[in-house]
């Protein structure tokens, strides 16, 4: 019995792979702090007079942002900021000056009042941070809405919809 247990314990790392070869860490580092050491963000620079808000935009009053904004530079393009809101609106902005390049409502968002859960107020659309697959310039995300694009209809009217999959940035 002991030799079998020893064998399993000794060779367990070979049998278990916590990170598959196709997996990537999407938030820059294993701790998912979002810190990238190649963007010149040392405390001395952040604390200097040269560091500050470059631009800011205003959107709908009831629009909430649970998904992290993503910064992406497509091949041969300029740096973009990709936003996704709780109202199922996705946007791409110019990262340098904040100019909106594209905006699209994926589908009407799910109403919080239809489920009576108050964790997320008003609308429950895109709440998770999208993933950008740089090899095909595609953003993947989950948008909660109603069957056939209805603007309301209750919980029974929900539907998993593939839509334009994958969609291009």
* Beta carbons of 43 and 49 less than 8 angstroms apart: no
pLDDT (mean) for 150-156: 61
* Beta carbons of 54 and 97 less than 8 angstroms apart: yes
Instruction: Look at residues 24, 128, 25, 130 and name the one whose alpha carbon lies nearest to residue 71.
Output: 130
Band of residue 89 on the pLDDT scale cut at 50, 70, 90 = very high
Band of residue 91 on the pLDDT scale cut at 50, 70, 90 = very high
What's the CA angle centered on 9, arms 8 and 13, to 5 degrees?
95
């Amino acid at each position: 019995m002991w030799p079998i247990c020893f064998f399993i314990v000794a060779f367990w790392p070979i049998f278990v792979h916590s990170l598959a070869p196709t997996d990537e860490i999407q938030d820059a580092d294993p701790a998912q702090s979002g810190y990238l050491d190649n963007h010149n963000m040392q405390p001395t620079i952040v604390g200097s007079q040269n560091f500050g808000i470059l631009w800011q935009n205003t959107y709908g009053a009831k629009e909430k942002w649970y998904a992290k904004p993503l910064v992406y530079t497509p091949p041969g393009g300029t740096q973009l900021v990709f936003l996704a809101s709780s109202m199922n609106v996705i946007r791409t902005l110019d990262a340098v000056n904040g100019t909106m390049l594209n905006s699209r409502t994926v589908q009407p968002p799910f109403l919080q009042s239809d489920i009576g859960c108050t964790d997320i107020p008003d609308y429950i659309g895109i709440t998770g941070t999208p993933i950008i697959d740089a090899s095909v310039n595609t953003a993947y995300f989950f948008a909660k809405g109603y069957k056939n694009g209805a603007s309301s209809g209750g919980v029974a009217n929900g539907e998993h919809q593939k839509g334009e999959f994958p969609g291009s940035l």
